[in-house]
Amino acid sequence: MLPLRVRTLSTAWGFALIGALASLPVAAVINWLPNSEATIGGGTMTIGAFIAGVIAVIRSADPDAAGLRAGFLDGVLAVLTFIVTVGTAVAWPLSRVVFFVFASGLILCVAPIFGLGFGRVGGWVANTVASR
């Protein structure tokens, strides 16, 4: 009998998942503030990557990798949020479907770049606070 192989997430994916989940309540509260133009997807994209970068530096891992992956996860969350809120329309013309597919692809390409930047900022903040 062969032994079972157990596959676990890499450290960067684990930190990204923790950052994305931890940022959901914060992004929801920011969304509820008066005159707030923030969305759940955008809030988690920045805050989640920041948290992932902080956790990665504390655990001696690469904050850029954790932030990049957190940005991707939060980009997927932003697209799913858009599908749930707007996707309930009765019928979409072809031009809207094409635009939606293009915009979703653009979000999934740009979100990791934002995540990389905010993960790097989170790592910098954690290093600066720890060195004082």
pLDDT score of 1 more than 70: no
Q: Which pLDDT belongs to residue 88?
A: 67
Instruction: Report the C-alpha gap between 39 and 23 in whole angstroms.
Output: 12
Q: pLDDT tens digit string along 15-38?
A: 999 999 999 898 888 888 888 777
Q: Which pLDDT belongs to residue 90?
A: 61
Q: What is the pTM of this model?
A: 0.83
Q: Which pLDDT belongs to residue 2?
A: 65
> Can you spell out the DSSP letters for 2-40?
PPPP-----HHHHHHHHHHHHHHHHHHHHHHSTT----H
- Structure-token match 């479907």, residue found: 97
Residue 23 CB neighbours (<10 A): 25
What are the residue ranges spanned by the domains of the chain? Answer: 11-125
